[in-house]
Structure 1
Amino acid sequence: MEVIAIQKSALEGIRKDLKELLELAESATCKYTPIFNEEKWLDNQEVCLMMSITKRTLQTYKNKGLLPYSKLNRKNYYKLSDVQALYKAVYQNNINENGFTDQ
């Protein structure tokens, strides 16, 4: 077993820094947890698999404003309820892949 000796002041400094880091993490968790607990969020791949569409079709839906999304760290996320509503519209109202109604 290896024993490392450090000064008490250095140990207290490390403890203080770790405590501050823990408080920051808890603060961020408390701030954003309610947002994500209200709704399940899906990424591009999950939406494409769920709706059986290509990434290009998903991009068309976004461009035409048919599917709202949020961007976080250069990645798009979609609310499950929005995806379900679009899925229902696509298959019940015959919206084609270009975002237009087939009627």
Structure 2
Amino acid sequence: MEVIAIQKSTLEGMKNELKALLELTKNATKRYTPIFAEEQWLDHQEVCLMMNITKRTLQTYKNKGLLPYSRLNRKNYYKRSDVQALLEAGQPYNTADNGFIDE
């Protein structure tokens, strides 16, 4: 075991810096906590399972603006309420631009 000796003032300075960093982290996360607490967010796999659609159909919904999403660290997330609203609206899953359903 290695023992390292440092001055008490240096140790106190390190402790104060760690406390300040912890406080900054708490303040930063406090702003975003209500956003995630009030709404459940789903990834693409959960949305596909919930709506019984393929990844490609989900991509079409995104491209056409039918299903809003948020991007975080190169990954898309969808609000459960938005997915539910699309399901309740009875959006045809394979509707082409001309309005006809592809079969």
Number of the residue aligned with 2:66: 66
Partners of 2:44 and 2:55 within 8 A in 1: yes
Partners of 2:70 and 2:76 within 8 A in 1: yes
Helix, strand or coil at the partner of 2:87: helix
In 2, distance between residues paired with 1:45 and 1:14? 44
The within-5 A match list for 1:18-29 is: 18-29=18-29
Gaps of 5+ in 1: none
Shift of 1:5: 2.8
Amino acid corresponding to residue 20 of structure 1 in structure 2: A
Gaps of 5+ in 2: none
The TM-score normalised by the length of structure 2 is 0.81
RMSD: 2.2
Percent identity among equivalent residues? 70
Shift of 1:4: 4.1
| Pair 102,85 (structure 1): closer, same or farther in 2 beyond 3 Å | farther
Partners of 1:57 and 1:98 within 8 A in 2: no
Count residues with an aligned counterpart.
100
In 1, distance between residues paired with 2:95 and 2:21? 48
